[in-house]
């Protein structure tokens, strides 16, 4: 298992260090795990003048999986766009062809009171958001700034989805639904956007190959509302890049903390990039208070999807559960009277439980 480890910026190095502890524990048991570190994001810019340095790209291409922390920091906000940390993330996703982004929103019984919604709305919640990750308005050309004939300046982007892009991610969605409750909701804005009308047509066509899956379509504004009104109606949500970006942040709050949400970004052969859904949180970087569980749970996803080691994936998830059951919490998920521990101690607690 050759893993490229890219801690990135902000809290990235602290949380990735905890996930690395889990990988090291597995290696001590005899798993053949090889980890090699490289830079991405702001630190890539600092060290190599590029948020996605050539050396990092080479390492990522030569690895089976990538473990990533987070990118971004205030000091980079004024750089020209190609040098911004976020470009590192977008380029590695596109460069590795990671079109299927899995963002599970799972409510642990221990954290049901940490959610911003009433416990009865979220207790037992288990949604899989599948976000297309390499197309849509994120990558569409042309884009930029232009001058209109009347002299006014205009910013513009292009939204488009090709048939093959929709088909391949839809197949992933239906296959995931087949392994779950066989309910798939495709989210779009087909009442306004041509791109979405086409999306709906293709998803409906792919559905014919999965007659056991119950397919529904929902407009994205309604989906945003339904997620906070009655989130348990969803099993798998399939959606495009920008809608998935927004809905997955919303869904994270159902689970109590964005610090709990892992993700997997897969190519056609299950090579994957694994990262927490949250950002680099520069305001709390270096303070040893960030929650490393989303990153540790991303390692579980890596074992499941890239290395097909379901047993190990479940052991890591169980270890996280046990740690929560012991009542230890990082600050973001702590309730009154509970023992608050730091990032490193949480990593140690999970390794001990493992």
What's the per-residue H, E or C state across 284-352? Answer: HCCCCCCCCHHHHHHHHHHHHHCCCCHHHHHHHHHHHHHHHHCCEECHHHCCCCCEECCHHHHHHHHHH
> Which residue's CB is nearer to ligand IPM, number 245 or number 348?
245
| Centroid of chain to Cα 310 | 19
> Which residue's CB is nearer to Mg ion, number 245 or number 250?
245
Give dist(CA 100, CA 249) in Å, integer.
17
The answer to the question of residue 86 lying near ligand IPM (CB under 6 A) is yes
Q: Distances from the Cα of 197 to the Cαs of 174, 201, 243, in angstroms?
A: 19, 6, 15
Only one of the segments 51-59, 85-93, 108-116, 180-188 lies at the binding site for ligand IPM (rule: CB under 6 A); that segment is 85-93
Which residue lies nearest ligand IPM, judged by its C-beta?
A: 86
- Provide the terminal-to-terminal Cα distance of the chain, rounded to the nearest Å: 19
Q: How far is the CB of 260 from ligand IPM (least distance, A)?
A: 15
> Which residue's CB is nearer to ligand IPM, number 242 or number 312?
242
The answer to the question of residue 245 lying near Mg ion (CB under 5 A) is yes
Give dist(CA 178, CA 198) in Å, integer.
24
Only one of the segments 17-25, 27-35, 82-90, 148-156 lies at the binding site for ligand IPM (rule: CB under 6 A); that segment is 82-90
Cβ atoms of residues 52 and 40 within 8 Å = yes
Q: Which residues of 240-251 are buried (b: 16+ CB within 10 A; e: fewer)?
A: bbbbbbebbeeb
> Which residue's CB is nearer to Mg ion, number 13 or number 248?
248
Q: Catalogue the active-site residues.
A: 138, 189, 221, 245, 249
Place of tokens 């989210």: 187
Q: How far is the CB of 43 from Mg ion (least distance, A)?
A: 20
User: Which residue from 46, 245, 267, 348 is in contact with ligand IPM, where contact means CB under 6 A?
Assistant: 245
Q: How far is the CB of 250 from Mg ion (least distance, A)?
A: 10
> Which residue's CB is nearer to ligand IPM, number 129 or number 312?
129
Which residue lies nearest Mg ion, judged by its C-beta?
A: 245
Q: Could you tell me how many residues of this chain bind ligand IPM (CB under 6 A)?
A: 4
Q: How far is the CB of 86 from ligand IPM (least distance, A)?
A: 4
> CB-based burial of residue 19 (10 Å sphere; 0-12 exposed, 13-18 middle, 19+ buried)?
buried
Only one of the segments 55-63, 83-91, 114-122, 169-177 lies at the binding site for ligand IPM (rule: CB under 6 A); that segment is 83-91
How many CB atoms sit inside 10 A of residue 204's CB? Answer: 13
Q: Under the rule (CB under 5 A), what is the footprint of Mg ion? A: 245
Residue ranges binding ligand IPM (CB under 6 A): 86, 89-90, 245
């Amino acid at each position: 298992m050759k893993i490229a480890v890219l801690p990135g910026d902000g809290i990235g190095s602290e949380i990735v260090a905890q996930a690395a502890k889990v990988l090291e524990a597995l290696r001590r048991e005899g798993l053949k795990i090889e980890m090699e570190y490289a830079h991405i994001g702001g630190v890539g810019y600092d060290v190599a003048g590029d948020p996605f340095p050539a050396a990092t790209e080479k390492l990522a291409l030569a690895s089976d999986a990538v473990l990533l922390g987070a990118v971004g920091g205030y000091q980079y906000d004024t750089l020209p766009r190609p040098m911004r940390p976020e470009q590192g993330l977008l380029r590695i996703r596109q460069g590795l062809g990671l079109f299927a982004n899995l963002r599970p929103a799972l409510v642990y019984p221990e954290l049901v009171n940490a959610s911003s919604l009433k416990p009865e709305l979220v207790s037992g919640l288990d949604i899989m958001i599948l976000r297309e990750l390499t197309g849509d308005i994120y990558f569409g050309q042309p884009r930029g700034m232009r001058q209109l004939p009347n002299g006014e300046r205009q910013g513009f982007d292009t939204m488009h989805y090709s048939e093959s892009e929709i088909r391949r991610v839809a197949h992933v969605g239906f296959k995931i639904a087949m392994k779950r409750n066989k309910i798939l909701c495709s989210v779009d804005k087909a009442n306004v956007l041509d791109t979405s009308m086409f999306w709906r047509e293709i998803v409906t066509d792919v559905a014919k190959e999965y007659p056991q899956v119950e397919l529904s379509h929902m407009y994205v504004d309604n989906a945003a509302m339904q997620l906070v009104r009655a989130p348990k109606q969803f099993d798998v949500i399939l959606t495009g890049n920008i809608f998935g970006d927004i809905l997955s942040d919303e869904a994270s709050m159902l689970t109590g903390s964005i610090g709990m949400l892992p993700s997997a970004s897969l190519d056609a052969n299950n090579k994957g990039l694994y990262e927490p859904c949250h950002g680099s949180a520069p305001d709390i970087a270096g303070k040893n208070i960030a929650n490393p569980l989303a990153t540790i749970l991303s390692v579980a996803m890596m074992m499941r999807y890239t290395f097909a080691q379901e047993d190990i994936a479940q052991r890591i998830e169980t270890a996280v559960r046990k740690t929560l059951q012991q009542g230890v919490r990082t600050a973001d998920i702590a309730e009154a009277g509970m023992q608050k521990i730091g990032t490193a101690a949480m990593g140690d607690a999970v390794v001990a439980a493992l």
